[in-house]
Amino acid sequence: MEKFTLELLFQIIGIGSASGLIYKDNSLLIIGDNSGFLYEYHMDSLNLKRHPLLENSTENTLKKDKADFEAITHFGDSLYVLGSGSTEKRNKMIQLNSSDKKVIATNDIADLYAVMQNFGEIKPEDFNIEGAIYTGESWFLLNRGNGSSNKNVLFTIEGKNLTNDFTILSNAYKLPKIKGVRSSFTDAVLVDNSIYFLATAEDTESTYDDGEVLGSLIGRINLKTMKIDFTQKISSTHKFEGLTLYTNSKEKIEFLLCEDKDTEVLETDIYKLTLDLK
């Protein structure tokens, strides 16, 4: 799969450091890793709403204090927003009602993250969850291997809950290099029986400190074999951190992407990526 087009669709003023998004009913739900809000953007009216995820939510939260919301997913009537787990302050999972965007529950999943680190043989300083998918039965969580050990791991988690009744499987991946630097997972979405994922190459060996952005790629994992069946570089300059399905047909599949520019400027660019399936 080599034919693709990437185009800037529009810009949203009022959101910074976008790290995840969901497209539904011509609206976008967006999180930012510096922010304590869930943003709701109506593409027809251009109206932007903010829904607090935390008490005393702020934008452009200091790096040492931020909850680092990097992953968002949904199933049924609920939305789920997850912290990256890269520090002790980043272990929250927020469940919201998908209709009114009110917080239903706030859970500390530090124990889950600790078990994942142990099971996936990931050092705490290399742990960084950046993508989440929930099917109602299974959770798929993606660790971004931008630490020194380059541990890109897809975790499959099943059970009654994520606090004390779950089982874990893990699959590790060696992703392609961009400009000599190994790329690492930044988001994923389930489409039919495949997981489409984004990965970015950033010139840093830290899950905490940002580095020079070297580009991004898209790839696909077959859920039956858990093997990557294609990757395609889509940019040499962008750090794409959010992926959501836009349209899907036999001829093509379209995604919407958001970019984390690692600045305090409250502007977010939304891109459309089209993959030719013919």
pLDDT of 17: 85
Q: Give 107-151 pLDDT, tens digit per residue.
A: 999 999 999 999 999 999 999 999 999 999 999 999 999 878 899
- Give the pTM: 0.94
pLDDT of 52: 97
pLDDT of 59: 87
Q: How far apart are CA 108 and CA 245, in angstroms?
A: 29
What lies within 8 Å, CB to CB, of 221 at 6+ separation is: 154, 173, 194, 195, 197, 227, 228, 229
In the chain, where the domains are located = 4-276
Which class is domain 4-276?
mainly beta
Strands 27-32 and 18-24: antiparallel
Low-confidence ranges of the chain (pLDDT < 50): none
Structure tokens at 156: 């499959």
Phi/psi for 8 (5° steps) reads -75, 120
